[in-house]
Structure 1
Amino acid sequence: MGHTAVVVGAGIGGLAAAIGLRRVGWEVRVVERAPALADAGAGISLAANGIRALDTLGLGTAVRAAGRGQYTGGTRTPRGSWLARMDGAALERALGSPIVGIPRAELHRLLRAALPPGALRTGVTVTAATPPGPGRPDGPVRLAYAAPPDGDLPLEADLVVAADGVGSRLRRALFPHHPGPAYSGSTVLRAITARPVDLRTDFEITWGRGAEFGHIAFADGRAEWHAVLNSPAGVRHADPLGALRRRFAGWHAPVPELLAATRGQDVLHHDIAELATPLPSFVSGRVVLLGDAAHAMTPNLGQGACQALEDAVVLAAALDGEPEVATALVRYDAERRPRAAAVAAAARGAGRMGQQLAHPLAVPLRNTLLRLTPSGVALRMILRHADWTPPLTRAFTGE
């Protein structure tokens, strides 16, 4: 069995994959195209499946300590009335963990700290990862780079993990006939407040017509907010905060307070793309796709990062003790592709019935149905995606 891997992409999934592979005995290098790790980003909510994956990787305790459990909140209308309440305590009883809110940059730092010095290189673009041909099924993957800064990068590896995001260069090379990412119809603006905000809930989303505004409270009193809007792709604003204040004028507190506590230069704006057409496989030879490169999904269930963390744990577990890499990758593909496709489809459906819904008759009907939904039914819908058990191996259990 080979023991060298190159992970392409230093996002949440790529870093988690590197940690998992190292825990099962592999030598791993991570290469990142960005010249510097700026730790830009807003906040993230990690459901119990993501926390369980982090527990398996040895990072769950640190993430819980740096984050804030989401026990209170729910879904509201622009005037402030409640459509559904969140019972974080019930989730914790059912799953062993509440949803945890944490700044994305802090999660990245914790993941990077779990890797040894020198394991991560920035400013490196992988231009090709050529799987072994039919005549050499056990041969290494050959890597090519765009003007690497020096010559110490591996030119071959027993495994390449393509964790290079929704616009994955490696996915395009491996599956040239796949249509690639599609615009979801929604764009998102988000930021972390520059100062603490007095919030009465840990997490909220508010649905208007074709619009959503939500927040995640952090342990230090600051908060992440996001505004998701139906919009043509590519629309940008000279003054994003001014545009949002106009768009959300009259919405309930704390929407105005969150915007007022934000600096204009901190606002991020991205169009939301997804792999609406599932890939035929997450594997090509000894190149394996992971995270958004494999199954980019809309954020409506908050499962994108959690699914990437699941990928990382399942990949490492499949390789642990398996003498044939190809056999392990078949197992990974068989286990991950159906689950990721189901979660992605559910997220797309949640967006269409939630943020994207804009018809003046459909919105009040949806709101009425939400108010009438028993809390137990709502809880089971969350459990459907968050109740995931990591595969256990000796490397992960310490036995």
Structure 2
Amino acid sequence: MNTPAGDRLSSFSAHDAHGSVLVINSGSSSVKYQLVNPVGGESIASGLIERIGEEIGRVTHTFAGNTTRRDMVVTDHGAALRIALDLFTEHGPNLDEADVVAVGHRVVQGGNKFSGPVFIDDQVVQDISDLIPLGPLHNPGHVRGIEVARALLPDVPHVAVFDTAFFTTLPAAAYTYAIDAEVAEEHGIRRYGFHGTSHQYVSGKVARVLGRKLEDLNQIVLHLGNGASASAIKGGVAVDTSMGLTPLEGLVMGTRSGDIDPAVVFHLHRNAGMSIDEIDDLLNKRSGIKGLAGDNDFRVLHDLVAQGDEGAKLALDVYIHRLRKYIGAYHAVLGRVDVITFTAGAGENDDIVRALAVEGLESLGIAIDPARNAERSREPRIISPDWTSTLVMVVPTNEELAIARQCIGLIEGGETSLA
């Protein structure tokens, strides 16, 4: 793991800290931020700046129950972060008084170079830039955000936390694609996996909630947001995951196709005259639930299904079929599954998806109790009946808190529980 650190880091201590971590997720056209108490776990303040570089941007900042909204021009990422800092000054909390001990940056693609959080220096910025060919949709925005944030907040350590880091433990049999080995090596083609911060946080939280040792548990984690991914985790170590070279592979998602025959790309190029960029846009932005049903909001999808819409019914069936296939596949990979956990938007809130996903798996010792599944709660909970050999749980994810705690662990030079 690459962990360079500047001399000034020795002056910062988060041990038993009452301080905070500013977590920044700088995307291609947005900046999402959250000020987090890494000890108590609460979000102190949060915000989102969208439509960067467009005619009119949208700004939202929330603190102490009050939300400020503005529509204004946001020319670039530099302007976005300056706006964010101004909002902290104007509407609170004052960052000088919040004792910010680190700035944590979410980075989607860390390749096989970064296996954990790292202090950011010029070399790390260059390394993240070098990975842009593997993460063209995300890493450019991360680099811009990091560069601006380091200039605006020069007196605290900046830490990069990578979506891919948790999956650097995958065995070669799981991460290797069966293509020409020299081509794969030259161009970095392998399974990297994504949503790793969420999968790591949730699997650790499961162990704590159950009062079990993490190393004793075999888990399947299903992160079902607009982007969706599955992981197989053995004793706290990831051994397989559904996303691959990019976040396009795997489960059916809100707008992404997930698994598809690669020859579809050739077919569309040769016979439909579509360019590579057009196919990229099709598979990433106009496929998945939206492509089949016309809308990627699951609330809308369920309403359409209830109204007898055949396209919506097919979309839900395809989504569930793929999800159930991965549960079965990872059951085989692990040999024994102690816990299956649903998390993220649909995973946490959609009882219909959860019920359908495990329907018919009773012979594997997997089932859901309807009453427990219907319960609305923001707390981690078991939703399987008492007789099952595999627990089914719902555990809310918290990627910002996980990033904040990885920052603290790095600063302290030791292990910090993400959950």
TM-score range, shorter chain: under 0.3
TM-score for the superposition, normalised by structure 2: 0.23
Higher normalized contact order (CA 8 Å, seq sep 6+, divided by chain length)? 1
TM-score for the superposition, normalised by structure 1: 0.24
